[in-house]
Amino acid sequence: MEETVQTGPPEEKTMGGVSKFFNIFFEPKRVFQSLKIKPTWLVPVIIVAVLGMGFFYYTFPYIMNEQVQKIRDNDRIPEEQKERIIERITEAEHPPIWQMAIAPAGTLIALVIVAAVLFFVFNVLMGGDSGFRRVFSVYCYSSLIAVPAMIVKFPLVMMKGNINVQTSLGLLLSPDAKGSFLHSVLSSFDIFTIWQVILVSMGLGVIYKFSTQKAFTTVVILWIVWILAKSGLGSLFGGGGGLLGI
């Protein structure tokens, strides 16, 4: 009886789309090792886009209420102009079709931009060697954290009747701090966002053969820079007062 002798390295196996979806929450390292061999991104992009569209559609009235309140609180807008703006944006009970239609494209563009930044930093500044498609696939699958986030936040929004549902350090501040620089910073430290940062770090560590600590430190630095820039600009131009809410 002849015995087959394997002369080369064992063939590495990749995971299917369904397996990757479930295992990103329980065995993420296996998912990223699979993506390193065969990067894919379509399934998570579709899931995140559909979830985003559904959340936007069903919470649209609460989002509009939030916008109305921001307009009323904005001292830079004349009173007569406020009423015209409020009347215009409260006409529709549901989001316009064109907004729903372009939402998937907006999701894809946002994912591509973040992945491009990560690719530039890790390839050019960190001296790593990986393809953009791998980085993009890692970020897309990490974005599936939107699934548990929606499961937790959507019922809370519907019960509260308000879009301002906190699963972040923003809970530590009083409602009066809303719109301030500090509130924006603390609100960025959301439990699901932190979970995603950990997954992105783990995935980039796998595809770049960096230690998880090295990848995590780099991703956290980029995240903090983004938080500070976003919070500063939001405080200055968002109508919520100046920096630190003053």
Query: Please, are residues 140 and 155 in contact by the beta-carbon 8 Å criterion?
Result: no
Distance, first Cα to last Cα, the chain? 84
Please report, in tens digits, the pLDDT of each residue of the chain (246 residues total). 444 444 434 445 677 878 899 999 999 999 999 999 999 999 999 999 999 999 998 988 888 888 887 777 777 777 777 777 777 777 777 788 888 888 889 999 999 999 999 999 999 999 999 999 999 999 999 999 999 999 999 999 988 888 888 899 988 887 777 777 888 889 899 999 999 999 999 999 999 999 989 999 999 999 999 999 988 887 666 544 333 232
Measured CA to CA in angstroms, residue 208 lies from 25, 48, 131, 155 at distances of: 21, 25, 10, 38
Query: Please, are residues 241 and 157 in contact by the beta-carbon 8 Å criterion?
Result: no
Looking at residue 237, its pLDDT comes to 61
**Shortest CA distance to 163 belongs to which of 51, 91, 238, 61?**
61
pTM of the model: 0.83
If one counts every other C-beta atom within 10 angstroms of the C-beta of residue 219, the result is 23
Q: How far is CA 45 from the centre of its chain?
A: 12
